Each structure stands twice: as C-alpha cells, then as structure tokens.
Amino acid sequence: MSRKDKTNLKGVETLKSSRGWTYIREVMEQEIVSAAMGMANNAAMPVEEMHFRRGSIWAAKQLLELPDKLELHLESLIRLEAADELSDATASFNILTKSPPRPGEE
C-alpha cells in the first residue's frame, strides 16, 4: 500500500479534527448565510452580481466539503491497493501450488 496515501489520510483526519478547521468552517458558514441573505434582501441586484454571489456560495461549500471528499478518496485508494495486493498474493500462491498438467490434460 502507498505510504503516501496513508500519510495524506492521516493529515486530512488531523485537519478535520483541528480547532483551526472548526473555526474556518464556522466563518465560512456565516459567510455563506450572509451572501445568501444579501441576495434575498436585494431585489434590484443585477444579474451579474447574483451569478457572482451564487458562484461564491458554491465555491465556499466546495471548500467546506473538500476534507470529507479527500478522506473518502484516500480511503478508497488504500482499499483498492489492499485488494490488488491480496489479489496478486492469491494469484502468486495459486501459481506456486498448482500441480503441473498431466500428459494429455493440456
């Protein structure tokens, strides 16, 4: 298994449980609500401004979801690598333990 993937997963888990990330989440969630309320309270907002605010809300939400997505991605990579290693080991074992073909069975 990739040591780098395991190290990165540990780093993402550490980030998610840190006080700094908790604070960033709180601030970003407040900013998202503020941007949404700004759109709701300004009926005369130009279309370009609405698109800009919608884009900034989307980007902020993506940032907040990034650690969860990275964690899931890294866990999947680690599991796939483990399954590949198991499959390779099983195939090697089968090759080593397989009897040679008898004459006429080929």
What are the structural domain ranges in the chain?
3-92
**Alpha carbons 98 and 1: distance in angstroms, whole number:** 27
Sign of CA dihedral 48, 50, 51, 53: positive
pLDDT at res. 92: 63
Greatest alpha-carbon pair distance for the chain in Å reads 88
Q: pLDDT of 55-79, one tens digit each?
A: 999 999 999 999 999 999 999 999 9
Q: What is the pTM of this model?
A: 0.70
pLDDT at res. 106: 58
pLDDT at res. 94: 62
Mean pLDDT value across residues 8-36: 96
Mean pLDDT value across residues 70-91: 85
**Alpha carbons 48 and 23: distance in angstroms, whole number:** 31
